[in-house]
Each structure stands twice: as structure tokens, then as C-alpha cells.
Amino acid sequence: MAQNKDFIFADSMNDLPEKVSFAWKSPSNIALVKYWGKTDPQIPKNASISFTLSESYTKTTAHFTKKKQSGKSEISVTLGGEKMDSFVPKIAQFLERINVYTPYLSNYHVEIITENSFPHSSGIASSASGMSALALCVMSLEKVLKPSLSASFFKQKASFLARLGSGSACRSIEGELVVWGKHENVVGSSDLLGIKFSEKIDPVFHHYQDSILLIDKGEKVVSSTVGHNLMIDHPFAEQRFEQANQNLARLMSTLKNGDLDTFMSIVESEALTLHAMMLTSNPYFILMKPNTLKVIEKIWNYRKETGVPVCFTLDAGANVHVLYPKKWKAEVDQFIQSELVKYCQNNHVIQDQSGMGAVQLA
């Protein structure tokens, strides 16, 4: 099983290149069984599983320039063509955190040029796609220093590093489904990194559709750090962590046998439980908006009336992810256009689907 020490870079740093650049495109992901609650450093309290997305992604180019003299690394970040000084402390903290595993980075200034496929203030978190893209750029540098790195170690360490930037980012390296967190039914699962769910899944789950309804594009009300901390001393914490692990076991069976009814009930219950945790924490939060509830009710009515297997999930916010098999795309598109789009800010819907993970661009 993977251990922290496996990821410490202990090779020679004598021949560091003067200037190298790498670019990766890395997607966001949507959890089916949610991760909510952690211990330091980003160790999840329960196992989670997500679909890797394909249309919601970050493209990041990282330029590593060797320092002329020792001292602090200079970091600059440009997002969508705009200099983002406000992102620098977060990146600096990330690089500091991974330094024990990537000591070669101390020799470099880092210039990050990044863009998201989704609008910045869409309520879609860019931390999963952004941190995984950056972790992959770092691994590309490591590969130059150690060409014998295997492809599987490359991915594992990229996931390991991404996790230290933002927990769920470790689930964005590969696709179509990724498990993160130690679970007795998943061989090789680990709290330290995400692993591809490698069992044969029912074909109904390939290219699973995710139409993301942007109900509220505002800034997150509860930051991820604050949110996870709400689970410390939460009255229902232990039951919740246990339930999530049970739900993961049940969900894996449905992924293999194609039982969509059970799949949908687990996924919806997970979303509502995530929000129930926030409703019952101290301090408490309501992250759903009236339109979130209207959309959920419409989905339930539509499913009951038509039998179309469409369900929803939620992140820690008001937006609704409408999930359904690809073969129902035409019907669900029409349903969304006629009944749901009016509840979205500026009628904004992002059409996404499960995908295969990150790709190197340069």
C-alpha cells in the first residue's frame, strides 16, 4: 500500500535544466459518494468516488526557471490572461507543502499560466482541475530529472501531490471513475491518493451525462476548509463516515450490475446528506437556494412520470448536477430546456459527461 515515504524524491539534483515548460489539461470531477471531513494533511474521513468530467477543465502551463541564486522562489499566476496576485499565497502554500516530496522545486521560479473552460464565477470549483493540472506539470519536471519514472508512478504521485493542494483534486488525474480513501472492498485504495475504479462497469455508466445547472454563480458561502472543519465534533460525524463507506460498497455493486434505481437513490441521498451535515453543524449553513429545491422537485416529478432514469447530485453549493445515461440525452435535454433552464442564472447550463482524465498538452 502507498506510503508517504514512497513519494519522496531522493535522486540526484545535479543536472537541473535551466528552463523547462509543461502544459496539462485536467478536468474537474463530481463526487457520487462525498468526501466531507478530513484530518491533516488532507486525509479523508471516509472513502469517496467520483466521475471524472470532460468539458469542465483547467489548462495550465507551468514555466520552471532555474534560480540564479538561492532564496525564495518567485511565483506568478495568470488566469485567463489576467495576472492573479491573489492566487499566489495559495500556490506558495501548496509548493511549500509538497516540498518534502519535490525538493527540486526549491531551485526554480514558477510561472503559471492557466485558464478554465468554465466561467470563473460560475460556482464550479476550479480547485480540483487547477491543482491536478499543476501537480501534473510538477511531475513532468520530475520525469525530466528521473526519466525512468514509470507511467503508473507518475499518475500516483500526481494524484498524491494534487491531494495536498485540494483533497478532491486527487480524483481528477484519471477516469472514468476514481476512488479516494481506504476502503476494504477496493484493492489498492488509499487515503493518500485516488485510484481508478478498475472493475468492469455496466456500459450504461460509460459517458454518463452531467448537465450542470448554474443556479447561483456567487462565491462559495462556505470555503472548503471551513466546510471540512465543520465535521470536527459534528454530532453525526461518525455515523456519516460509516454511512459513506457503506454507500460506496453499495454503489460499486450498482456500477457493476447496472441497477440504475439503486444507483440514483444512493447518489441523491449522498447529495442531501452532504447538505444535511451543513444544516446540522455549528455554525450551520443553508447552501441550497429556492431554485435548487424547485429543480430537485421537477426532476423527481419528471422521473416519476416518464420513467427516464435521471437523478441529481450537489456540491457544497446551490448548483445542481443532473446525471443520466447517454442514451437519454435527447429527452433530458428537452426536459432541461423546457422545465429547468429557467431556474438557472442567465439560463446557464454546462453540458458535461464522464471522461478519461488529464492529458498532457506540451
Distance, in Å, from the CA atom of 182 to the CA atom of 174, rounded to the nearest integer, reads 18
Q: How far is the CB of 352 from ligand PMV (least distance, A)?
A: 15
Bridge-based pairing of strands 108-116 and 75-79 is parallel
In 3D, which of 362, 306, 352 has the Cα closest to residue 29? 352
Residue 210 C-beta-side C-alpha neighbours within 13 Å: 29
Distance, in Å, from the CA atom of 340 to the CA atom of 292, rounded to the nearest integer, reads 10
Nearer to ligand PMV, 234 or 303 (CB): 234
Q: Report DSSP letters for 24-44, one per residue.
A: EEEEEEEEEE----EETTTEE
| Main-chain dihedrals φ then ψ at residue 127, nearest 5 degrees | -70, -35
In 3D, which of 39, 15, 347 has the Cα closest to residue 192? 39
Distance, in Å, from the CA atom of 105 to the CA atom of 116, rounded to the nearest integer, reads 25
Nearer to ligand PMV, 167 or 302 (CB): 167
Distance, in Å, from the CA atom of 289 to the CA atom of 295, rounded to the nearest integer, reads 10
Q: Torsion over CA of 152, 153, 154 and 159, rounded to 10 degrees?
A: 100
Q: How far is the CB of 204 from ligand PMV (least distance, A)?
A: 23
Nearer to ligand PMV, 114 or 129 (CB): 129
Nearer to ligand PMV, 83 or 120 (CB): 120
Q: How far is the CB of 269 from ligand PMV (least distance, A)?
A: 14
Nearer to ligand PMV, 35 or 335 (CB): 35
Q: How far is the CB of 84 from ligand PMV (least distance, A)?
A: 19
Q: How far is the CB of 168 from ligand PMV (least distance, A)?
A: 3
Nearer to ligand PMV, 147 or 283 (CB): 283
Give the residues lining the site for ligand PMV (CB under 6 A): 31, 34-36, 48, 125, 127, 166-168, 224, 274, 315-316
Bridge-based pairing of strands 194-196 and 177-180 is antiparallel
SS3 234: coil
Q: How far is the CB of 216 from ligand PMV (least distance, A)?
A: 15
Q: How far is the CB of 44 from ligand PMV (least distance, A)?
A: 8
Q: Output the CA–CA distances (angstroms, integers) from residue 77 to 49, 162, 298, 325, in the order listed.
A: 30, 17, 42, 38
Nearer to ligand PMV, 35 or 94 (CB): 35
